[in-house]
Amino acid sequence: MKELVQESSDVCLLSGDIGNRMFDRYKEVAPTRFLNCGIAEANMMSMAAGMALSGLRPVVYTITPFTTTRCLEQIRTGVAYHEAPVVIVGTGSGLSYAELGATHHSLEDLAILRSIPNLQVCAPADSLELEAQLRQAITEGQPTYIRIGKKGEPDLLAEHAPLGIGKANLLKQGNKILLLGIGPILSEALQASTLLEQKGIQLAIASMGSIKPLDHQFLHQCVTAGYSHWISLEEHHQTGGLGSALLEWLSEQQINTIEIKRMGIGDHFVHQLGDQNYVRESEGLNASAIANLVQSL
Amino acid sequence: MATTAPESTAALNRIALTIRRRTIETSARARIPHLGSCLSCVELLTTLYWQELRIDPQEPEAPNRDRFVLSKGHGAPVLFQVLAERGFFEIERLAEFGKPGSVFHEHPPKPGYIPGVEAATGSLGHGLPMAIGMAIAQRIQGIDSRCYALLSDGECNEGSIWEAAMLAAGQHVHNLTAIVDYNKWQATDRSQEVMALEPLAAKWEAFGWYAQEIDGHDLAAIGQALAAARTETSKPSVIVAHTIKGKGVSFMEDDNNWHYRTPNPDELAAALAELQEVQL
């Protein structure tokens, strides 16, 4: 963000009373273009739309449920309908803040936001993908939602990968079974592939990067490559997210030779808490669960 | 940016009468509701568009223009008449009002369809925060302009209005004037009985705003309050404008049925007859 704000005098950052000290370097560079909007997300989102309509490029930042479902009307009407060039960043998405309870989980945001016209919906797997998507969203000026995890997550993509919104990347080659994932949970898939290699199974893994737009060209290549089973992986409800988007795509393309399994959280709230690893395990969304599913196919 | 030529009170009254008549005629012809809500803010809009706003209808997207957001988006039918009369587009365009496929219906669409419309509103509690964003953008960009938002009293039910009120005061957004068209009604009841609005001006003051209270049909008072708001250099300003829903037509005034009703031919004729009797 510091680099982006230095490069463009239009970039502004709006925070919902979060990011203590995180934006200090940004504030040194552009103090007038940082606004702590308080714990008032509806106003923050509409304000961002107003700023964007006046020629600025605001980035709105707070914890995912509060920058999405809390102010959904303001996203739909203020940002998306107006095609206002606002970038909405949701931090701590999925189960990143598992211990904080259901109020802080975000397992519906992809489904809800991808139904809104004009809005791009991204879930970068790592910091490289995030940086590329953020830069592109600001430069191109299209309303964009970017859902990110938490600090300290590993980089998964190769530095020379073709990154950007709507660009999928193959992380591992394989045969027969392809896992298509979105977001930092792809690290579980990579761990699963290590477990599976010990048993002689090569799992192909791809990061989709964004759910809207979906990389259709890449999906066609996956069909041509002959993967007979696809597994979708997302830290999100099974309803309406990446898995649903893939099913819709296959249906629209009239492709019925591929079997899809959707890995995600079932249709329930999670209230038996622990850290992110604990909940991923209890919800059947970790490396061993992925490996078990692959072996059952 | 061209400044609006000052208009005499008599001239403003004449414009207000024209706007009122056309709004009622359109409501009757195109079956457009919210007539009472439109009639309560005619003087406010007339003063804004002919006396206060630094706008140029020939250059509606000039970066240094003042911006007006109709936060009470259901007042669109009167705003459309004002924009046409002020020269943002040909009045003939309003012949399509209410017809299938037209952009002229019950609320303002997003910018780009009707010159002069700054924001799509109608979802209440949404326009004031957008106007604050525009005002903050002007500050960041170093543009010496002002933003205005017209709210309804019912709209002050929305929490986002008070989020916006605190933010604007906290950020000292003094290039902003909000006006509450306080006609004492919302869709289905007296606004004071639905939620305890009073003391409304004191509430805004307590939220850190420079608040003025005026008769919202008194053109001179409106002009003076808008001018006083411009001199405030540390706080956002609000004008609580006491108005009458359905103002100008005896059988519509303070009768909340005209929130949704549209005039039948007899009522239209009676309303227009009353409005012709005004002595200018």
User: Tens of pLDDT along B170-212?
Assistant: 999 999 999 999 999 999 999 999 999 999 999 999 999 999 9
Question: What are the C-alpha distances in Å from B130 to residues A296, B74, B137?
Answer: 53, 17, 10
**Residue A233 near chain B (CB below 8 Å):** no
Question: Does A280 reach chain B within 8 Å, measured CB to CB?
Answer: no
Residue position matching structure tokens 């003025």: B212
What is the C-alpha to C-alpha distance for residues A158 and A128, in angstroms, rounded to an integer? 9
CB contact A47 to B (< 8 Å): yes
Report the C-alpha gap between A260 and A211 in whole angstroms.
Answer: 16
Contacts of B139 in chain A (CB under 8 A): 32
Mutate to test the interface with A, among B160, B172, B175, B207 (most CBs of A within 10 A): B160
**Contact (Cβ atoms closer than 8 angstroms) between residue B74 and residue A45:** no
Selected for mutation to probe chain A from B65, B126, B155 (highest A CB count within 10 Å) is: B126
Sign of CA dihedral A135, A138, A143, A148: positive
Pairing of strands B147-152, B67-69: parallel
Tokens 């925060």 sit at which residue?
Answer: B129
Q: Nearest CA to CA, how far is A112 from chain B (Å)?
A: 19
- In chain A, which residue's Cα lies nearest the Cα of B130? A50
B contact test, residue of A43, A44, A60 with most B CBs within 10 A: A43
pLDDT digits (tens, 9 = 90+) for B171-181: 999 999 999 99
**Cα A245 to Cα A226: distance, rounded to the nearest angstrom:** 20
Candidates A35, A55, A81; nearest CB to B120: A81
* Per-domain boundaries in chain A: 1-147, 168-296
Q: Are B33 and B75 in contact (CB under 8 A)?
A: no
* Contact yes or no for A82 and B110 at CB 8 A: yes
Angle at which helix B76-86 crosses helix B9-30, to 10 degrees, equals: 130
HSE-up (13 A, CA, CB side) for residue B180: 29
Distance CA B262, CA B77 (A): 12
> C-alpha angle A142/A148/A154, rounded to 5°?
130
Question: In whole angstroms, what is the distance from residue B236 CA to residue B171 CA?
Answer: 9
Among the listed residues B137, B233, B204, the one whose alpha carbon sits nearest the alpha carbon of residue A14: B137
Select the residue of A42, A46, A77 nearest B133 (Cβ to Cβ). Answer: A46
Residues of B with Cβ-Cβ distance to A42 under 8 angstroms:
125, 129, 159-160, 163
Q: Smallest Cα–Cα separation from A135: which of A27, A3, A15?
A: A3
Q: Which residue in B64, B69, B130 has the most chain A C-beta atoms within 10 A of its own C-beta, making it the best mutation to test that interface?
A: B130
A16 vs B contacts (CB less than 8 Å): none
> What is the H or E stretch that residue A288 is in?
helix A287-296
Structure tokens at A53: 């309509």
d(CA A276, CA B14): 68
Which residues of chain B are under the pLDDT cut of 70?
A: 1-6, 277-280
The whole-angstrom separation of Cα A198 and Cα B5 is 82
CATH number of A1-147: 3.40.50.970
Query: Minimal Cα distance from A32: which residue of B?
Result: B140
Contact (CB<8Å) B171/A35: yes
Provide φ and ψ at A210, rounded to 5°: -140, 150
Q: Is B156 helix (H, G, I), strand (E, B) or coil?
A: helix
Query: Which whole-number Å values give the CA distances from A205 to A46, A93, A176, B168, in the listed order?
Result: 39, 21, 11, 48
What does each of the 297 residues of chain A score in pLDDT, given as a tens digit? 878 888 889 999 999 999 878 888 888 888 999 999 999 999 999 999 999 999 999 999 999 999 999 999 999 999 999 999 999 999 999 999 999 999 999 999 999 999 999 999 999 999 999 999 999 999 999 999 999 999 889 999 887 888 999 999 999 999 899 999 999 999 999 999 999 999 999 999 999 999 999 999 999 999 999 999 999 999 999 999 999 999 999 999 999 999 999 999 999 999 999 999 999 999 999 999 999 999 999
Residues in A closer than 8 angstroms to B135, CB to CB, are: 50
pLDDT the model gives residue B277 = 53
Identify all chain A residues contacting B171, using CB atoms and an 8 Å cutoff: 35
* CATH value of A168-296 in 3.40.50.1820, 3.40.50.360, 3.90.1170.50, 3.40.50.920: 3.40.50.920
A49 neighbourhood in chain B, CB within 8 Å:
130, 133
Burial of B106 (0-12, 13-18, 19+ CB in 10 A): middle
A12, A17, A54: which to substitute to probe chain B, counting the most B Cβ within 10 Å? A54
Complex ipTM more than 0.95, yes or no = no
CA gyration radius for chain A? Answer: 19
Q: What pTM was estimated for this model as a whole?
A: 0.95
| Distance (Å) from the alpha carbon of B168 to chain A's nearest alpha carbon | 10
Give the integer Cα–Cα distance in Å for B56 and A12.
Answer: 29
Count contacts between A and B (CB, < 8 Å): 99
Distance, in angstroms, between B260 CA and closest chain A CA? 24
The SS3 assignment for A71 reads: helix
A163: how many CB neighbours lie within 10 A of its CB? 23
Q: With CB atoms and an 8 Å threshold, state whether B136 touches A35.
A: yes
- B67 CB neighbours in chain A (<8 A) are 54
SS3 content of chain B, % helix, strand, coil (to 5): 45, 10, 40
